[in-house]
Structure 1
């Protein structure tokens, strides 16, 4: 078993092994249902077909692990064997019944997929979020539990904020994890969708996408600098500059603002103060 797994998950591993004294029973496939905490939503069909061919030749060599629930059994480990058996039209499958809690069932579903088949980035992000919600864990606590860095956890969780259609691109492999990470920090969902579409249509590398994002950010900054002032405010500034013979700026927002009058020496300051005092005394 990989050393990358945290101790909390390692402690559950023995429960997934079939022991010599275990009682193996034949469970009707119609009495089985998948683990609701299974993070994998998409199974590789050719892989299932290949497993089915093996089962057809040799049978189910390793029993699946289940727990007893209302109206049957719930699969804890071995959903691929279950699906392959369904494909073959088998009536039963060998199984070992174990008393797992909901929390354990959820953790084991993540373990099995982490160790046996790579989840796509969105499935893994959903699995991490599910563990945090179910077990009331912080990102730091989850990182210890699964033996991953906190930044690794955070990067995956950010993907869940992507628009649904972009998450679908990532799930299908149309967009890579690198592409998804690059656009995950953009707040405007419409911009995210457009960047994702451009990446797919133009077959951008991650580096090309990052350059496009940098160029977009530069253009946005330039637009903010070009925003013109109200002509009325500009005229007032011009009048005040002529009156005080110095630089004057009016900064306003909604119904409030301020006037900045610049001076360049002590004498200049005294001149301006005298002028202001003369206005207030009138």
Structure 2
């Protein structure tokens, strides 16, 4: 099926965007992805910079900003911010990567900040903002998973492309993205730090994941304990429903396979398995023709 438009934001290549981010990241060693020291193009008055209105990260913790501001007061800004000319005001610049440093610099009462100027288009701007957030060490697992999903859904990147460019294993990406299959209440628990990613993954096979999640928090259960409880509940449910299972009542292994395939294809996958005959069918859902085109290319790739 032909597509009316090309994929957006892939012109410069994901690795090139990654190199730009690494050259202006928050890490203390000022090197690019190629190992070349990152040098600012210039310094700009702090009032000439504007935040990116489409910045995916909306929350900046005051205590972290104060800590960074103190470091900036003592050592200055080690890594330059990445900016682009503001499309709405030719006298200003829009922050592509480094808004946290910009905010902390204001707290430290700096007048100028070092910058690297790049001519990003709108799609590249959003990709860089997402990737920079994914790279942050304090990112919670749900934010990381949502970042990968955005890159795959909006820009057509595959798990293999992301794992190669970002130096992460494909299994890591798949495991992180499986968390998006959890109920919203559990995702909120992970975002708030009440549950770890390990706890959340163990809940994927539970018959009643929300009840088990609440119990895990109340009793401070270990990941291993949650895994055992999830397995026990799945086995109990399977034995209690033997011979009576309806199409909507799937065993834990089937649900786990559905979650793995959903993460791998970045779209909903349903498995209907007949335990008596051993036959079944797999249904792959898509939201529009563009997604169907992506799926056809992925499934037909050598």
State the TM-score, normalizing by the size of structure 2: 0.60
Which ranges in structure 1 are unaligned for 5 or more consecutive residues? 1-5, 228-282
Is the Cα–Cα contact under 8 Å of residues 35 and 76 in structure 1 kept in the other structure?
Answer: no
Distance 1:136 1:64, change over 3 A: same
Q: Please point out which of 179, 187, 192 is paired with 2:209.
A: 192
Distance, in Å, in 1 between the alignment partners of 2:67 and 2:180 is 32
C-alpha displacement of 1:141: 3.1
Partner-residue secondary structure (3-state), 2:68:
helix
* Counterpart residue number, 2:231: 214
Kindly provide the CA deviation profile for residues 29-62 of structure 1, in whole angstroms up to 9, marking residues without a partner as x: 6x51146354x45444333111212334555454
Distance, in Å, in 1 between the alignment partners of 2:168 and 2:80 is 30
Distance 1:182 1:219, change over 3 A: same
* Counterpart residue number, 1:23: 42
Is the Cα–Cα contact under 8 Å of residues 103 and 134 in structure 1 kept in the other structure?
Answer: no
Q: Does 1:176 align with 2:183?
A: no
C-alpha displacement of 1:200: 0.3
C-alpha displacement of 1:167: 1.2
Q: Please point out which of 20, 39, 46 is paired with 1:12.
A: 20
* Counterpart residue number, 2:146: 126
State the TM-score, normalizing by the size of structure 1: 0.64
C-alpha displacement of 1:109: 3.2
- The structure with the greater share of residues assigned to helix is 1
Mapping 1:50-69, distance limit 5 Å: 50-57=67-74, 59-60=76-77, 62-69=79-86
Distance, in Å, in 2 between the alignment partners of 1:15 and 1:101 is 18
Decide which moves more: 193-202 or 87-96.
Answer: 87-96
* Counterpart residue number, 1:223: 240
Distance, in Å, in 2 between the alignment partners of 1:68 and 1:34 is 11
Q: Does 1:159 align with 2:179?
A: yes
Q: Please point out which of 198, 222, 227 is paired with 1:205.
A: 222
* Counterpart residue number, 2:50: 32
Partner-residue secondary structure (3-state), 1:99:
coil
Is the Cα–Cα contact under 8 Å of residues 66 and 75 in structure 1 kept in the other structure?
Answer: yes
Kindly provide the CA deviation profile for residues 158-195 of structure 1, in whole angstroms up to 9, marking residues without a partner as x: 21222222112111211001011111345x7xx22211
The number of equivalent residue pairs is 216
Distance, in Å, in 1 between the alignment partners of 2:72 and 2:136 is 18
Highest CA radius of gyration, 1 or 2?
A: 1
Partner-residue secondary structure (3-state), 1:137:
coil
Partner-residue secondary structure (3-state), 2:96:
strand
C-alpha displacement of 1:217: 1.4
